[in-house]
Homo-oligomer: A and B are copies of this chain.
């Protein structure tokens, strides 16, 4: 997994470096992509690929496309009109380092180039490319991540139920996390319909666990450790698991999801070891 992470950083840096575009635009794109994020989604793609025997070289472009989508969403999310965050991954957010217009265009460019990267890649058959593009566009669009962002935006300052909160997060964070695992899985040769189904359920649970831990960290950690503004959820009266359940019950809920999730991995035997390790990381991470 460490080796994949290194190969991934190298692949992504090279891909952006070779983009024949305006140097300043490229620099601003690189600023928000090559900046030491945790790379959880790319690693989930790697781990998903291990379940179906995917080749690591094949997983790199998939992981890069997903991370570019994730980074675009952070850049747009941080804009003053959205979450208004000046601080991301331990440094000024894109619109603070450059300006708002640049941040809007950087987000648009990363989003578009994620699809371009997959469409132009030579590792896949046309059929696999189309499947990958279907999953990625559905997960990140108006039926997935953007839907979640929109619901989240409108959930501020009004009470939501646990069910509504889960709908927000299944879309806002969960959809792309699920896509990361599924896209890795369908890139390998040893697929089955049954495994695809249970992996999909597993992935949904991981997405929720990820968000619960995010909420817990926002409430309990510091801006220095998180590399982004802590305590913003309470300040903005955001709907979070912590605000809705309290920290202790949120932690119990996460443990319950974890047990259910791990059980779904049993049929994959040792092929699921990287995915198990990542699941543990998701709930134990400190930033």
Contact = CB atoms under 8 A, between A and B. Distances in A.
A147 interface: yes
B26 A142 contact: yes
A107 B72 CA distance: 13
Chain A, interface size category, equals 35 or more
Interface of A (DSSP majority class) = helix
A111 B113 contact: no
A88 B112 CA distance: 24
Contacts of A150: 21-22, 24-25, 102, 105
A99 B81 contact: yes
Interface string A69-87: 0001000100101100000
A151 to B, nearest CB: 6
A142 B29 contact: yes
A141 B153 contact: no
A255 to B, nearest CB: 31
Contacts of A26: 142
B154 A141 contact: no
A149 interface: yes
A93 interface: no
A81 B119 CA distance: 31
A14 to B, nearest CB: 15
17 contacts: A21-B147, A24-B150, A25-B146, A76-B108, A81-B99, A81-B104, A82-B101, A82-B104, A105-B150, A109-B142, A112-B137, A112-B140, A112-B146, A113-B137, A115-B133, A116-B137, A116-B143
Interface of A: 19-22, 24-26, 29, 72, 76, 79, 81-82, 99-102, 104-105, 107-109, 111-113, 115-116, 119-120, 125-127, 129-130, 133-134, 137-138, 140-143, 146-147, 149-151, 153-154
